[in-house]
Every structure is written in C-alpha cells, then in structure tokens.
Structure 1
Amino acid sequence: MRRDPEPLLNIKANAEAPADARPPGERDPYLTHLGERIRSLRATRGMSRKDLARGAGVSERYLANLETGTGNASVLLLRQVAGALDVPLPVVLAEVDGHADPAGQEGQGGHRAAEFSQLVQWLAQLPAGDLARVREAARHALSPSESRDARRRRIALIGLRGAGKSTLGRALAAAEDIPFIELNAAIEQEAGASLSEIHSLYGQAAYRRYEMRALERVLREHDTMVLATPGSLVSEPATFNLLLSRCYTVWVRTSPEEHMARVVAQGDMRPMEGNREAMTDLRRILQARTPLYSRADVSIDTSGQDADSSLRALRAQLPHAD
C-alpha cells in the first residue's frame, strides 16, 4: 500500500478535525496565544505588519489572520504531534542541524539537536523567576569578560526612539569630554548604505548582522565613549548581551505621548507612517520592549524635563570611580 509521505502536513489528505475541535467561529486559545506572541515579537522589533509580510513573503491578510488567532489548522495538528511526543512545540520546530552522518550514526549535529531538546524541555518547566536567573547566569558565563571599570568607561543609552538618547548622549559626552558615537551612523558606515536602504534592499536579517558588526567595531575602537543605540537593538539577544557585558547601560525613558511628540518633531514616523493607529502601535512596542529595556544598569525618566535637567539626572546615575 502506498503511504502518504507527509500525512500530518497535508491538510487535504488529512481532513480529520483536531481532537480539540471547537464550534465554528470560536477561536482556539493556542492559536490566539500564538498570534499574540507573533504580534509581540513584531512590536519588539518595531516592524509594521506590512514590513513583516514583505520580509516573510506572505500576504498582509495571512499575517493579520495569524495575529488574530485564525491561523492555519496545520499548526494545531503539529501541536498535537508534539503533545503525543510529550515535548514542547519549540523542540519540534527548532532549526537545529541534527542530521545523521553518512554511516548512519548520530553525528555532532545530532548531539546538538538532542542537547537542545533536553535544554528546552528543562527550561519550559522552570518558574519565571528561575528562568530569569538562568538567563543572567548564561549571559555572564558566555559574554566576553570585561572588568567593572572598563564597563563604566563606556556609557550606552538604550530606549525607544524619541526618548532623548542622542540629545542626552551628545550633552553627556561634551560634559565628560569623551567621544559620542551614534550606532546608527556606524551601521551605515559598516554597510555602505543608509538605514532605509539596508532594510529595503537587504532585509531585517542583514540589518541585524550589520548592527552586530558595527557594535563590535566601536567597542574595539573606543575604550571610553557615550554610545546612543537604536531602539530595537534590545530585540536581538546576542547583540544586546554584548552591549550589556561591555557597557554601563542606561535606559532613557519617557511617556508614550512625549515619545510620539518628539518623533513627529523629528519628521520621522517609522514604523508608524501611514498608520492611523500610530499611538496604539507605539504603546504596544514600548510594552513589548519594557522587559528588555529594564535589564539596563539604571534608568532615567525624561518626561516633562528640559535638556539640562535630564543631563543632571543622567550624570547623577553614573558610577563614580572607586
């Protein structure tokens, strides 16, 4: 008898409804959660739905359905398979090279896949507090070693666009008589193209590679500096961990209303251009990134403050030599 090689992925060949089928029109909680997760990830990266759809090669309508919990039923079928295997779905979906070697024995890739599977299953069982401690322990263990004094000589400002990073950074660098670096400018120099050209011509993944290279370069070239970083840098774990390990980080924050007012004053509405729900999107981005921004060494709130007051508040937060 001929066997269907992909019975679980071919929805037409397998017309059975999922075991937990629901009445028509009622959304599955898992698909709803999945949609919220994708929307949160998109917000963390500061991408519009149009940008993500273009980068993924899917229609905006498909992406909208996915984000609202009306995604393809094959996701639920795959989840059922993971449940029958008694493993978290990320283990099934993980892109880990686990092919067997030509002799039919499990090679290095197979060991990597097995280790990854065990790690994900262990992490999935940890309480939130323990998970945060594991993350920080891994960051310290795997990040390049740097003395406390060396970190303190590099001040990195993080936060959403419009918080005042560039203005404060220039003022702080002038007051301390040290170099001021805009990482955006370093990224453009690294790529030989403007930020908009990088995104439109090469895509999000290429931008992240240039961002990491630019950060590595400025860290090599400057033992002392004030660095203003792009708002979305925190969404790339390797790049953000490098920044945290090599710089004294300050989260520059303000209210959503002031973020929006300052962005409009700069004439820059990315990624809200043409979006009538710009403030809603900005709040969503800020909410999604807050747990990441909160990993900074300290934070300052520039809401309702003039430049001089914000600079004084920033300098008061900086570490002093022992």
Structure 2
Amino acid sequence: MKIILLGYMGVGKSTLGNALAKELEINFIDLDAYIEQKEGKSISDLFVNKAEISFRKKETNYLKQILNHESSFVLSLGGGTPCYANNMELINKYSKNTFYLKASFQFLSKRLYNEKNVRPLLQHLKHLDEFEDFIRKHLFERQNYYFLANFTINVETQSIENNITQILNQLN
C-alpha cells in the first residue's frame, strides 16, 4: 500500500503522514527529508545554490526512486512536487491512494507567516499583505495539480485523528 499526501506547504502533510504511518504500522517518508539526507544539504541550500529548476529535477528523480519501492509507506510530498515534470501522472500511476490535504489561503497564511524565514519560496516576502497575496496566487496556481489526487481532505476544520479516520475510510 502506497499512500501519498500532497498539498501546499504548511498544510500538515508531514505531521499527518507520520501519525497515519504509525496508525497503519508502515514506513513514513517525508520527500524533503529524504532529499536532504541523500544530498547532504538542506532544501534551502539546494534552492539557493542550485536554483529551483535544478532542485525540481533532483526531486523528480528521488520521487521515482521512492515510488519504485515494493514496500508499503506513507509519503509526504513537498508542496511543489506535484506541479513539476510529469510528477502527478507518475504519482497516480503508482498509487490510487493519493490525498490532497486542502486548506484556505487564510489558514495557510496564518500558519506560514512566522515560518517564512525557513521556507525558500517565502523568504523574500517582508510584509503581511505581500505575503498573503503570494500565498493566494501560488495556491491558486498549484490547485489544478492538487485536485488530480484521488481524494481531498479539508484539514483546517478537523483534528489529526479525524483526518486519519477519513483517510482510512477511503483507502483502496
């Protein structure tokens, strides 16, 4: 069983994925952490030193490695992973258990504003208005990819336990 969680940064993919994997007693893989471990550098460093397009190519290669594993797992993707190359097509080829963890831009803006200095795509945003506009536009651009997931879970109105129950009820 391969369960894949996707959605915008800060939506809780890693937190929910880790809890879900424990519930199912299977491996949890955070794609960003996997890349950092393989590359020996932080995602921020990979973005700064090599530019985003170079990072996205590496990300796709590591995604393919993980998807080709025979074992069961819960995989938490980076927020941009589904939006590059043919990643979403690849993801849906390997799993029918893909979940878009959905939240509004207001919810995400509140959650991410204090973390902006450790998020490579947000570090340049200085003012709250500018930050909210960026999140709104970026989320709008990415949602078409996110909606290609097999299921959508609205995470901002439920507890982690309720989100896990909802996912468990949808598993194929």
TM-score (norm 1): 0.49
Q: Which residue of 2 aligns with 1:291?
A: 144
Distance in structure 1 (CA, Å) of the matches to 2:82 and 2:68: 20
Is structure 2 residue 121 aligned with structure 1 residue 271?
yes
Q: State whether residues 253 and 299 of structure 1, in contact with CA within 8 Å, keep that contact through their aligned partners in structure 2.
A: yes
Distance in structure 1 (CA, Å) of the matches to 2:164 and 2:110: 20
Shift of residue 239, structure 1, vs aligned partner: 2.4
SS in 2 for 1:221: coil
Is structure 2 residue 78 aligned with structure 1 residue 227?
no
**Number of paired residues?**
167
Q: What residue identity is the alignment partner of 1:190?
A: K
- Range 274-283 or range 257-266, more displaced: 257-266
Shift of residue 266, structure 1, vs aligned partner: 4.8
Is structure 2 residue 126 aligned with structure 1 residue 243?
no
Shift of residue 161, structure 1, vs aligned partner: 0.8
Is structure 2 residue 102 aligned with structure 1 residue 261?
no
Q: What residue identity is the alignment partner of 1:254?
A: A
Is structure 2 residue 25 aligned with structure 1 residue 172?
no
Q: Which residue of 2 aligns with 1:136?
A: none
Shift of residue 232, structure 1, vs aligned partner: 0.5
Unaligned runs of 5+ in 1: 1-152
- Range 287-296 or range 216-225, more displaced: 216-225
Distance in structure 2 (CA, Å) of the matches to 1:250 and 1:229: 11
Q: What residue identity is the alignment partner of 1:262?
A: R
Q: What residue identity is the alignment partner of 2:28?
A: F
Q: State whether residues 113 and 131 of structure 2, in contact with CA within 8 Å, keep that contact through their aligned partners in structure 1.
A: no
Distance in structure 1 (CA, Å) of the matches to 2:115 and 2:122: 13
Q: State whether residues 162 and 258 of structure 1, in contact with CA within 8 Å, keep that contact through their aligned partners in structure 2.
A: no
Q: What residue identity is the alignment partner of 2:109?
A: M
Shift of residue 189, structure 1, vs aligned partner: 2.5
Cα 1:184–1:252 shift into 2, 3 Å: same
- Range 182-191 or range 164-173, more displaced: 182-191
Q: State whether residues 190 and 210 of structure 1, in contact with CA within 8 Å, keep that contact through their aligned partners in structure 2.
A: no
RMSD between superposed Cα atoms in Å: 1.8
TM-score (norm 2): 0.88
Q: State whether residues 190 and 213 of structure 1, in contact with CA within 8 Å, keep that contact through their aligned partners in structure 2.
A: no
Cα 1:225–1:207 shift into 2, 3 Å: same
Q: Which residue of 1 aligns with 2:168?
A: 315
Shift of residue 221, structure 1, vs aligned partner: 3.3
Distance in structure 2 (CA, Å) of the matches to 1:315 and 1:229: 19
SS in 2 for 1:291: helix
Q: Which residue of 1 aligns with 2:157?
A: 304
Higher relative contact order (CA 8 A, sep 6+): 2
- Range 211-220 or range 174-183, more displaced: 211-220
Unaligned runs of 5+ in 2: none
Shift of residue 263, structure 1, vs aligned partner: 2.1
Shift of residue 257, structure 1, vs aligned partner: 1.8
Cα 1:220–1:317 shift into 2, 3 Å: same
Q: Deviations over 1:201-239 (max 9, x none)?
A: 111222012101211222233521000000101221322
